[in-house]
């Protein structure tokens, strides 16, 4: 298994120079997030992840979770690591001080989450789901519910889940069968079965708080009839065991140390959160948090894979360079001299560093949406978040899977062998394009709801940012060619959107046919904008002689690679979008059979 080292230099480059987190925090009044505090979080978080979590990654994969008559036990060391995490105050880093949190900006929580998921994705799912539950209760719970649950969740004494889907419905939540019957004491008796519940049962906390989607007896049909309920494993007032049990845990391809549970609710006592029949709206607070976290998993597993691959490529000797020996004192050259290996490593580097920039850009929007005293700023940030969330989830997981596959390929045959650890990263990453709404669902959300559903408003909110950036840097001495390329794509983006919208007015299938390619096309343009922002800073550092010259040159070379080797993929995605739905839908279903 590759040794994980937190990429602090790249993190600091983004935090200190590209996005100026310190000025951002000052503008929002987040005075506790001082430069010294940020530095301490980076340093100490890195130590925890490198020294405590990373050593448990392979052993957790090999051991997996244990199921015994409803009792789930996590792999050796997981429970102790969680206790150390809680004791260190990490769990409440960005939580509300009113409930025991430190009240630091959400962006710092995401920076920490990146290191956690890079070092041990399975372990990170336990606190990650809890943070989502906390956000939903904080946003939609009554004062009594907040007082009852948030203090213990923030402290890490309790953990949380979200219970959405059922065996028969997948993403189509409008047809769930779980029912909630009103009781005389104001609670509800919740009955039904939920599947794929991450961290649904385990031994790491005293209690588990489930947020469960269910329907009231008189609920309207479809998604308009879904309500959300808090269903604790143990009732907070009495400590009595509630009517919820784990029926089994799934045997999975990856993230084996994360307990993925079937949960059975048998008249379990639940408490309505938010309004009746408005549960999906409440759950989206949690789902959007989870979607951003899932998108980050593509980055995180890609980072771990890159670290292993680049070390191996420098150490592994095989064949001679096509232009003559580069290590004449050795029997062969290290494989990093070969162009195809360089292609894979640079693809990994370009996606990882671009996706990290996208994560931090989005994280700042979360801060603004939560902390700004200006209503206009908050709304602008929320609109951009609505637009970017499905892209973060889908684009980052698709490219993350590509990156982990490249990482395994760099190792050649050894990449297919378990003890090197590279195949685990591929297996762990493979779920990310599937859960929290498949990437096809994310694409429909982006194109159908966010872009066309807003008559292009949410798209224009981002393309205006890119347009202003391009106008301001059109004459940049070293980067003007790339700026012009980005500006042209930015204009084409709007034109392509109009073309899809016009076609969809005649045939709604055009949206579904175009959606995934449209999302990937959008993602490549967004990363191009962010790569140019990084390149501008790197070039300025070189020009002024400040910073790390080798690091800056590496940034500029990777930006060049992105624009010449990866950004041209937009042409293929655009062609696929323009191809329309007929070639997809004309073949009768019965002709798919052998």
- Which residues participate in catalysis according to the annotation? 436
Distance CA 78, CA 11 (A): 27
Q: Using DSSP, how many helices (H) and how many strands (E) does the chain show?
A: 19, 9
Distance CA 230, CA 160 (A): 10
Q: How many CB atoms lie within 10 A of CB 373?
A: 8
User: Who contacts 497 (Cβ-Cβ below 8 Å, separation ≥6)?
Assistant: 451, 452, 456, 459, 518
Beta strand pairing status for 179-182 and 244-249?
unpaired
Find, among 136, 384, 371, 151, the residue nearest to 272 by Cα: 136
Name the DSSP class of 75.
Answer: P
H or E element at residue 501: helix 480-506
Distance CA 484, CA 196 (A): 46
Distance CA 239, CA 148 (A): 13
**What is residue 566's three-state secondary structure?**
helix
Beta bridge partners of 61: none
Residue 568 exposure: Cα atoms within 13 Å on the Cβ side: 4
Distance CA 528, CA 469 (A): 12
Is the Cβ–Cβ distance between 157 and 207 less than 8 Å?
Answer: yes
Is the Cβ–Cβ distance between 119 and 127 less than 8 Å?
Answer: no
What dihedral do alpha carbons 225, 228, 233, 238 form, nearest 10°? Answer: -110
Beta bridge partners of 269: 189
Cβ-defined contacts of 110-114 (< 8 Å, 24+) = 110/292, 110/296, 110/359, 110/360, 110/363, 110/366, 111/11, 111/15, 111/41, 111/42, 111/45, 111/360, 111/363, 112/41, 112/45, 113/293, 113/296, 114/11, 114/296, 114/299, 114/300, 114/303, 114/356, 114/359
User: Residue 366: which region, alpha, beta or left (left: phi > 0; alpha: psi -120 to 50)?
Assistant: alpha
DSSP 3-state helix, strand, coil percentages of the chain (rounded to 5)?
60, 10, 25
Distance CA 489, CA 496 (A): 10
């Amino acid at each position: 298994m590759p040794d994980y080292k937190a990429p602090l230099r790249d993190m600091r480059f983004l935090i200190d120079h590209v996005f100026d987190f310190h000025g951002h925090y000052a503008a929002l009044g987040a005075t506790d997030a001082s430069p010294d505090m940020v530095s301490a979080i980076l340093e100490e978080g890195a130590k925890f992840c490198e020294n405590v979590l990373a050593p448990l990654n392979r052993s957790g994969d090999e051991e997996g979770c244990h199921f015994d008559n409803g009792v789930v036990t996590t792999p050796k060391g997981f429970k102790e690591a969680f206790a150390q995490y809680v004791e260190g105050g990490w769990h409440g880093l960005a939580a509300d001080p009113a409930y025991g949190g430190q009240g630091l900006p959400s962006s710092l929580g995401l920076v920490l989450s990146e290191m956690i998921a890079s070092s041990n994705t399975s372990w990170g799912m336990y606190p990650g789901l809890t943070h989502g539950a906390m956000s939903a209760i904080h946003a939609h719970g009554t004062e009594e519910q907040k007082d009852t649950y948030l203090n213990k969740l923030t402290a890490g004494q309790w953990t949380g889940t979200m219970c959405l889907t059922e065996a028969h419905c997948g993403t189509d939540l409008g047809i769930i069968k779980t029912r909630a019957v009103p009781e005389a004491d104001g609670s509800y008796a919740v009955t039904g079965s939920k599947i794929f519940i991450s961290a649904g049962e385990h031994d790491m906390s005293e209690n588990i708080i489930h947020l469960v989607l269910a329907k009231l007896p008189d609920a309207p049909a479809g998604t308009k009839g879904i309500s959300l309920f808090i269903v604790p494993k143990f009732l907070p007032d009495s400590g009595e065991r509630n009517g919820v049990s784990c029926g089994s845990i799934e045997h999975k391809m990856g993230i084996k140390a994360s307990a993925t549970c079937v949960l059975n609710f048998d008249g379990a006592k639940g408490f309505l959160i938010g309004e009746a029949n408005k549960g999906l709206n409440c759950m989206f607070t949690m789902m959007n948090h989870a979607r951003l976290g899932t998108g980050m998993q593509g980055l995180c597993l890609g980072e771990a894979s890159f670290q292993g691959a680049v070390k191996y490529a420098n150490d592994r000797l095989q064949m001679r360079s096509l232009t003559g020996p580069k290590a004449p004192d050795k029997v062969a050259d290290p494989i990093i001299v070969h162009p195809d290996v360089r292609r894979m490593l640079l693809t990994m580097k370009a996606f990882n560093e671009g996706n990290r920039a996208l994560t931090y850009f989005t994280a700042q929007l979360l801060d603004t949406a939560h902390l700004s005293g200006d209503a206009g700023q908050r709304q602008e940030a929320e609109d951009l978040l609505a637009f970017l969330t499905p892209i973060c989830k889908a684009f980052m997981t698709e490219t993350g899977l590509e990156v982990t596959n490249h990482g395994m390929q760099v190792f050649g045959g050894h990449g297919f062998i378990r003890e090197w650890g590279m195949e685990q990263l591929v297996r762990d990453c493979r779920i990310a394009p599937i859960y929290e709404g498949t990437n096809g669902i994310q694409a429909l959300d982006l194109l159908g709801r966010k872009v066309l559903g807003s008559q292009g408003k949410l798209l224009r909110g981002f393309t205006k940012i890119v347009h202003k950036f391009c106008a301001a840097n059109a004459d940049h001495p070293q980067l003007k060619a790339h700026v012009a390329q980005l500006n042209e794509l930015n204009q084409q983006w709007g034109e392509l959107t109009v073309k899809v919208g016009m076609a969809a007015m005649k045939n709604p299938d055009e949206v579904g046919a175009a959606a995934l390619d449209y999302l990937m096309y959008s993602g490549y343009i967004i990363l191009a904008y962010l790569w140019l922002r990084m390149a501008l800073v790197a070039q300025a550092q070189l020009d002024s002689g400040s910073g790390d010259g080798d690091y800056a040159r590496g940034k500029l070379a990777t930006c060049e690679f992105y624009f010449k080797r990866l950004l041209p993929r937009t042409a293929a995605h655009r062609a696929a979008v323009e191809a329309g739905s007929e070639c997809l839908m004309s073949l009768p279903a019965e002709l798919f059979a052998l």
